Amino acid sequence: MEVQAGQLLSQINIPSDLKKFKEEDLPEICKELRQYIIDIVSVNGGHFASSLGVVELTVALHYVMNTPYDQLVWDVGHQAYGHKILTGRREVFHTNRIYKGISGFPKRSESEYDTFGVGHSSTSISAALGMAVASHYKGEKDRQHVAVIGDGSMTAGMAFEALNHAGIENSNVLVILNDNCMSIDPNVGALKDYLTDITTSKTYNKFRDDVSAVLSKISELGPNAHEIVKKIEKSIKGTLLKKSNLFEALNFRYFGPIDGHDVVHLAKVLKDLRDIPGPKLLHCVTVKGKGYALAEKDQTKWHSPGLFNKITGEIKKSAPSKPQGPKYQDVFGHTMVELAEMNDKIMGITPAMPSGCSLNIMMKAMPHRAFDVGIAEQHAVTFSAGLATQGLIPFCNIYSSFMQRAYDQVVHDVALQKLPVVFCLDRAGIAGADGPTHHGAYDIAYFRCIPNMIVSAPMNEEELRNLMYTAQLKNHGGPFSIRYPRGNGVMPEWKRPLKEVEVGKGRKITDGEDVAILTIGHIGNEAVKACLELNAEGYYPAHYDMRFAKPIDEELLHEVFKNFKNVITVEDGCIQGGMGSAVLEFMADHQYQAVVKRLGIPDAVIEHGEQAELWNECGYDAFAILKTVKELVKAKPTERLVG
């Protein structure tokens, strides 16, 4: 569907076009930009409310700053749709997050205006500071470096690491705190309360305004008075104000809070800030979903609503081609409550993804036993470890790609101490439209090499429930990880009685000859599809569900290598170091001879697209499995296809 940009917006191909307009035109430009985002996202999908919340900020920044020379870094980047539209991508924005289209996040290879690749939160201040220090070193005194970071992203430790460093570098960095009181779910933590206080507190703002009013009166008395005033202001700021403002205490000049939707005022403030050297923080108060009433009302639902009717607000449900099971995340959420009712030691932890991983189900049912710790994956892991030292059984749910941020905590704080933390890695494997920053490609490999770690992956919803049930039965001598994908399972009737599974045991799905297909996790269902088709063509491969990558089922592998000369391993994860590698290691350790073909995510960056498109591109969907079976069966014994 052709979407037409508004009359002013259609004249803005790059930010320098924006500068041709007068300040009084900016509100109309914001109106047209906001409408364009609504028009495209409603038919295309993607992140929605966050971009609406920064329309004015985006326009003001590109109006005042000399981008791309002045550098903007968008934290997470899910709010950068306006930025993309204003920086040469208006006419291709309808390909946003579509296979082979533009990325849903700023990406250096996509545009010179995208100064830093993002997707994971809380990196913007570090990156902008790096750029600022580099500019200082290169003598680029006039260059601006701006990090736009949300209040949610500000709850991550990395943001404070950067503030701490920036405060002593005296580099020209402007942090714009986009404060809308929301993460994906409502923001959490003491910082949120502080920001609310500083935004609403009469004391701080009144005292500061009174001081400036008095001082500006005095400075009108003459040039000497102006000098005296600067000294008084410095000492007051250096004592009273500094003590009462977190950011001032870190040597940032704090400005605000200001209305993040008043584009003309924003432009004026940004112009003033350009001339103030050193680290600065501008506190902008915005509304997530601004300008689309339904999104303002339910900001979590409209964070990433999918396709919707922009007039009625009706969100379109995808009609599956065949009966689907529930979302894996919901099976996790409901099973958490079921297990917690049976075992009062169970606790749930999520770093800022309660609705994303469905821990919100337990948070609602048992608010004292389920925690949203903010965007703080490292803290989530070690907080879980602390709980485990006291005999509790924490289920720490972290998206596979976000878990990468807490790797040392898993090794150092959990595995070395053999603590029984259950890691539920949601969004494991190809995540889809979020692309390479969000694909959970590496968790089998990065967990398999950790001592005392159990690495498991359910083939379906029933298996997920049984692995969760098994994990909490006892301390298995360390952490127990269960990884599962974004999206739906295959069992409409999923809520079956919970059963213990034997740790380290796989299972045979079907007997066969010539080729053994070994799968792990949900991708086993692709092998089921392939086997049905192969049977119809007279091929009868065997299929085993490994269920565990560590400990791997050695008894099953002995059976496989004693009976098959052709083996295919399949995983929705990186080939290198994955389950297939574990099978090769076993084969070598036991001097078996066979042709082993490993299917999975290759050693490459996999861009965005639908999961099925990317499984096909990576060569491990049903079609690829079928093709590989035929190749192996036809291959002569001398042809070795070790993958």
Ligand X SMILES: CC(=O)[C@@H](O)[C@H](O)COP(=O)(O)O
Ligand Y SMILES: Cc1ncc(C[n+]2csc(CCOP(=O)(O)OP(=O)(O)O)c2C)c(N)n1
Q: How far apart are CA 145 and CA 138, in angstroms?
A: 14
Minimum CB distance to Mg ion smaller for 180 or for 581: 180
With b for 16 or more beta-carbon neighbours within 10 A and e for fewer, the 121-149 pattern comes to: bbbbbbbbbbbbbebbeeeeeebbbbbbb
The percent helix, strand, coil of the chain (3-state, each to 5) is 45, 15, 40
Nearest to 46 by CA among 230, 300, 306, 353: 306
44 binds, among Mg ion, ligand Y, ligand X, none (CB under 5 to 8 A by kind): none
- Residues 262-291, interacting with ligand Y (CB under 6 A): 288
**Shortest reach from residue 512's CB to ligand X, in Å:** 35
**Shortest reach from residue 505's CB to ligand X, in Å:** 31
- Residues 422-451, interacting with ligand X (CB under 6 A): 427, 434
427 binds, among ligand X, ligand Y, Mg ion, none (CB under 5 to 8 A by kind): ligand X
- Residues 57-116, interacting with ligand Y (CB under 6 A): 76, 78-79
Q: Which stretch binds Mg ion (CB under 5 A): 142-150, 222-230, 291-299, 363-371?
A: 142-150
Which residue has the CB atom at the shortest distance from Mg ion? 150
User: Annotated binding site for thiamine diphosphate, which residues?
Assistant: 78, 119-121, 152-153, 180, 292, 377
360 forms part of the interface with ligand Y (CB under 6 A): no
**Shortest reach from residue 195's CB to Mg ion, in Å:** 10
| Out of 26, 98, 133, 182, the residue judged to bind Mg ion by CB under 5 A | 182
**Shortest reach from residue 304's CB to ligand X, in Å:** 5
Q: Per-residue contact track with ligand Y, 386 to 415, x per CB under 6 A? A: ----------------x--x----------
Q: How far apart are CA 640 and CA 618, in angstroms?
A: 21
What does the DSSP assignment read for 13-27? SSHHHHTTS-GGGHH
Sort strands 595-601 and 566-574 into parallel, antiparallel or unpaired.
parallel
352 binds, among Mg ion, ligand Y, ligand X, none (CB under 5 to 8 A by kind): ligand Y
Q: Which stretch binds ligand Y (CB under 6 A): 175-183, 220-228, 331-339, 603-611?
A: 175-183
53 binds, among Mg ion, ligand Y, ligand X, none (CB under 5 to 8 A by kind): ligand Y
**Shortest reach from residue 164's CB to ligand Y, in Å:** 19
Minimum CB distance to ligand Y smaller for 181 or for 211: 181
**Shortest reach from residue 403's CB to Mg ion, in Å:** 22
User: Annotated binding site for Mg(2+), which residues?
Assistant: 151, 180
Q: How far apart are CA 620 and CA 617, in angstroms?
A: 8
Minimum CB distance to ligand Y smaller for 250 or for 375: 375
What is the helix (H) or strand (E) element at residue 177, kind and residue range? Answer: strand 173-179
Residue 200: CA count within 13 A, CB half-sphere:
7
Supply the residues annotated as catalytic: 288, 377, 405
What is the helix (H) or strand (E) element at residue 470, kind and residue range? Answer: helix 461-471
- Strand residue runs (E) in 386-525: 393-397, 422-425, 454-456, 480-483, 507-510, 515-520
Write the Ramachandran bin of 591: left for phi over 0, alpha for psi from -120 to 50, otherwise beta.
left
83 forms part of the interface with ligand X (CB under 6 A): no
Which residue has the CB atom at the shortest distance from ligand Y? 150
| Out of 46, 82, 106, 150, the residue judged to bind ligand Y by CB under 6 A | 150
Alpha-carbon torsion 368, 369, 372, 376, what sign?
A: positive
Contacts of 288 (CB under 8 A, 6+ apart): 49, 50, 52, 53, 180, 181, 182, 295, 296, 299, 303
Which position has the token pair 């099971």?
Answer: 325
**Cis peptide leading into 257, omega within 30 of 0?**
yes
Total length of the chain: 643
356 forms part of the interface with ligand X (CB under 6 A): yes
**Shortest reach from residue 406's CB to ligand Y, in Å:** 9
522 forms part of the interface with ligand X (CB under 6 A): no
Minimum CB distance to ligand X smaller for 57 or for 552: 57
- Residues 451-490, interacting with ligand Y (CB under 6 A): none
Nearest to 618 by CA among 574, 586, 569: 574
Q: How far apart are CA 408 and CA 415, in angstroms?
A: 10
| Out of 145, 486, 550, 608, the residue judged to bind ligand X by CB under 6 A | 486
- Residues 177-196, interacting with ligand X (CB under 6 A): 184
Contacts of 231 (CB under 8 A, 6+ apart): none
**Shortest reach from residue 286's CB to Mg ion, in Å:** 8
Q: How many residues bind Mg ion (CB under 5 A)?
A: 5
Which position has the token pair 């959490």?
Answer: 188
**Cis peptide leading into 420, omega within 30 of 0?**
no
Minimum CB distance to ligand X smaller for 402 or for 548: 402
| Out of 182, 269, 337, 531, the residue judged to bind ligand Y by CB under 6 A | 182
Q: Per-residue contact track with ligand X, 279 to 318, x per CB under 6 A? A: -------------------------x--------------
Joined tokens for residue 112: 């010179």
- Residues 40-59, interacting with ligand X (CB under 6 A): 47
Q: Report residue 182: phi and psi, to 5°.
A: -125, 145
Minimum CB distance to Mg ion smaller for 177 or for 385: 177
Residue 422, strand partner residues: 395, 480
79 forms part of the interface with ligand X (CB under 6 A): no
Nearest to 55 by CA among 15, 26, 91: 26
Q: Contact at 8 Å (CB) between 554 and 586?
A: yes
**Shortest reach from residue 460's CB to ligand X, in Å:** 19
Q: Report residue 488: phi and psi, to 5°.
A: -95, 155
76 forms part of the interface with ligand X (CB under 6 A): yes
| Out of 58, 183, 335, 628, the residue judged to bind ligand Y by CB under 6 A | 183
Find the Cα–Cα–Cα–Cα dihedral 457, 459, 465, 471, rounded to 10°: -30
Minimum CB distance to ligand X smaller for 302 or for 564: 302
358 forms part of the interface with ligand Y (CB under 6 A): no
Q: Which stretch binds ligand Y (CB under 6 A): 147-155, 159-167, 468-476, 623-631?
A: 147-155
**Shortest reach from residue 601's CB to ligand Y, in Å:** 20
Joined tokens for residue 305: 């609503």
Minimum CB distance to ligand X smaller for 76 or for 410: 76
Binding site for Mg ion (CB under 5 A): 150-152, 180, 182
Residues that bind ligand X (CB under 6 A): 47, 76, 78, 184, 304, 356, 427, 434, 486
Residues lying near ligand Y in the complex (CB under 6 A): 50, 53, 76, 78-79, 120-121, 150-153, 178, 180, 182-184, 288, 352, 375, 377, 402, 405
